[in-house]
Every structure is written in structure tokens, then in C-alpha cells.
Structure 1
């Protein structure tokens, strides 16, 4: 439908004014009109006065409704694409903020709040195999704990296992390569606790024959005690 025709329809619909007085007069005449001679008021098809009133009233409502629909239809036209675009733009989907990578062991203190920590290469390591130990001491019970040990992938490093001095069933443990490191991770399960004490988390791995440089290795321990967070970390200065 072109703009000229739409405008003409809109103008015709808005200028239409039903003759209300004339319609009411017709209704009143219908109520008082006598039926033709010879026709029984009880004839099956004779319209009763109240039915005539209802029919006339419905006709008035119909005229008014048609006028209203005509005005609405003429005013709507095609959807306003520009307005729809503005509505979408007003409610954008914001991307979730990028999570920050956790601080590495060298950027954290070895002691913080109830936690104390130390990283060392086990003295029983040899020219083909090694074990890196993270020692963690807490003076208060812990309701959450994650220990992470990172061993640089230099000299043919590959995992041979891990262990912890705390109950195995209390932790979820994993070992996988991430960003040039063999990462051992122990996470305390929800609802479990760590009592005050000193504990060891150890990662074991093979490496190429000879002395392996542990200078890039590090560890972190992140915990929660009495609702307060505490984090410690460090590195491994010894080589085996």
C-alpha cells in the first residue's frame, strides 16, 4: 500500500462520525412498532421487542468498532524498522568479564595468616626421576583449599604420579600439561575440612638423564579459614 492511499484511508477513518441520535431514534421506533396485521406475536419467526433492541444495539456497536479498527489499521502501516533496531540496541548482551589468571607462586608470600609453606625437591630424587614437595602448615582449620604445583616441561618431564598426606577421598586430584608446565592440582571437596597441622603434597615425574633445572618450578596454596581467604606460594631453587 503506497503512502498516498494510506493517508487517504487514515483521513476518511478519523473524519467519520456516526449519527448517534439517528441510531437511537431507530432503536426507539423498533421498540414501539406494532407487528403487521394477521401475524401472531407467538409466530416462531417473529422477533420479540427485546431481540430487536439487542440487534439494533449490536449494529451500533459494530459501526463504532469498524470505525475504530479502520483508524488503527490506517495508523499502523508497516513496522518501524528503525524503532525496532533501537529497542534491540538498548538491551545489549554484555560479555562476561575475562577472569584474571591467578598469581604464580613467586608473586605470593610463603606465609600468610594461618598458612606457612615451602617448596623443595625431594632428596631421594635421582638423575632420571624426581619428586617435588609442597609443605603446607596451617594453624587453623580450613574449609577450602587448593594446592597447585607447576613443573616446567624441560628435559623430557612426564608425570609418574602424585600423593598427599591428607585423606585421598577428601580431594579431587589432577595432573595435566598447561602453558609449558606439568600442573599438579589438589582441590578439597565441598563439605570437607582440613584440621590444623602440617601436610605434604607431592608430584612425581621422569626427566632426561642428568641434573634437571627446577628454577622455573613454583607452587601456590589458596585456602579459607573461618571465612577468611589466605594464599601462599613460592618456587624451587634447588636442582637435581
Structure 2
């Protein structure tokens, strides 16, 4: 088909599809007079030339492809809100502190020396005291007691005390290896008499019931006979 003949047919088809303007205006005026929106005028079906059907199908395909491209672009930008949805991140693991020795490795009694560790019953949801009870059946010429409090939420030192004379001991409170460490060391030339003695460390902590399962104590002593003794205990529920 020549280009001129194609142009003529296109113009004829366009003329055939022109609406009857006078009839449409008349229907609009009647609808407004009756108080309702005018109905869209229906058109009888018209025969369409084969070459026009092909052109229409091509235009429809192009329209579908264009709409699909817009839809994909919109979805990639987060839909109508334009927000991108981020994948949830992996939560950071919660750090925990455990005693370096396995449960049961610490013995509470060695010869004349015996110990026990417990959280004081007067502790509360903000503050706690850990008590070390040490009993010896004979005098000690050397003694070092260490109380280790796991640095769980909000733990910080508020002081310490012992039942033996303050002047007989060197006392320190430091942080080491994930623990708040209270250390009482008997000064050279001093002795610990036979009997039951108490050492206590005090500290603040995050609000709530603190789990003391990671806390423990050790005590190393030299007996009057020159023999050494070592004891220890955990503060957990199964200590």
C-alpha cells in the first residue's frame, strides 16, 4: 500500500469517528435541566478495517508495557509512600560473664579453712551487697580474699568492709576481665585469729533482680604451721 493511500484511509477513519457535537450538547442540556449528570452517549459498533485493528493492538501492547515499567519503578521506590523497606538487622549478642573455672572446681573447705559466698538479704532492686564468710580453725599468717562481681548492667562499686581490723589489710576495688574485683590482702607481720570473719563488697546495679550466677570468691591463706590452704565459692543458686 502506498503512503498516499494510507494517509487517505487514516483521514477517512478519523472523520468517521468524530462525535456528533450538536447531539451531545443537547443531551447535556437535558441532563442539567433534569438535575442529574448527563449519560455518556452510546455509539453503535462500527466496522474497523483490518489494518486499523493491527494498529490498535500495537498501541495497546505499548500501553501495557509502559504501565508495567511505571509499576515496577513505583514498587522499587517503596510504593505510594516512597519509603524503602530495610531488611531487619541481626541483633547484637548479649555479652555474658562466667567464672573461669567449671562449676564444682572451687572447694569451700581446705583443712582448717572454710568459706561461703551469698548475696546479702538486705539488697534491693538498685543496690546489692555480696558477703564472704570465712572461718578458720587456726591462726593465719597470710591471707588474700578476692570477691569478683560480674559487670552486668549498671554494676559499679559503692564501697566495702570487713569484720577484721581495717589497719591489718590493704584493700582495693578494680575492674578486671569483666569483673568488679574487691581484694583484701593481709599486711606483712599481721595475723588472722581463729574464728569466723566477714568480708563484704557493695555495688549499684541496673533496676531489677540481679542474677549473681557469674559472681564468685577465692581465698588463699598460709596457716601458722606454714601449710597453704585455698578455698572458693560461687554466688549462683546452686553454689
Change (3 A) 1:223 1:159: same
Q: Secondary structure at the match of 2:193?
A: coil
Match of 1:130 in 2: 128
Match of 1:170 in 2: 168
Match of 1:235 in 2: 234
**TM-score, reference length from structure 1:** 0.55
Per the TM alignment, residue 238 of structure 1 is displaced from its structure 2 partner at its CA by 4.3
Deviations 1:148-195 (A, max 9, x none): 000000011000000000000000000000000000000000000000
Match of 1:205 in 2: 203
**Unaligned stretches of 5+ residues in structure 2:** 1-99
| Aligned mate of 1:148, from 141, 146, 153 | 146
Match of 2:156 in 1: 158
Deviations 1:102-159 (A, max 9, x none): 9799522101111011000000000000000010000000000000000000011000
5 Å-filtered alignment, 1:1-240, equals 107-225=105-223, 226-238=225-237
Whole-angstrom distance in 2 between the partners of 1:106 and 1:155:
26
Match of 1:43 in 2: none
Change (3 A) 1:105 1:149: farther
Moved over 4 A (4+): 102-106
Q: Secondary structure at the match of 1:169?
A: helix
Change (3 A) 1:136 1:188: same
Whole-angstrom distance in 2 between the partners of 1:120 and 1:104:
19
Change (3 A) 1:173 1:197: same
Whole-angstrom distance in 2 between the partners of 1:204 and 1:150:
11
Whole-angstrom distance in 2 between the partners of 1:105 and 1:227:
29
Q: Secondary structure at the match of 2:140?
A: coil
Change (3 A) 1:103 1:140: farther
8 Å contact from structure 1 (residues 106, 233) kept in 2: no
Q: Secondary structure at the match of 2:167?
A: helix
Change (3 A) 1:171 1:106: farther
Deviations 1:12-36 (A, max 9, x none): xxxxxxxxxxxxxxxxxxxxxxxxx
Whole-angstrom distance in 1 between the partners of 2:146 and 2:167:
18
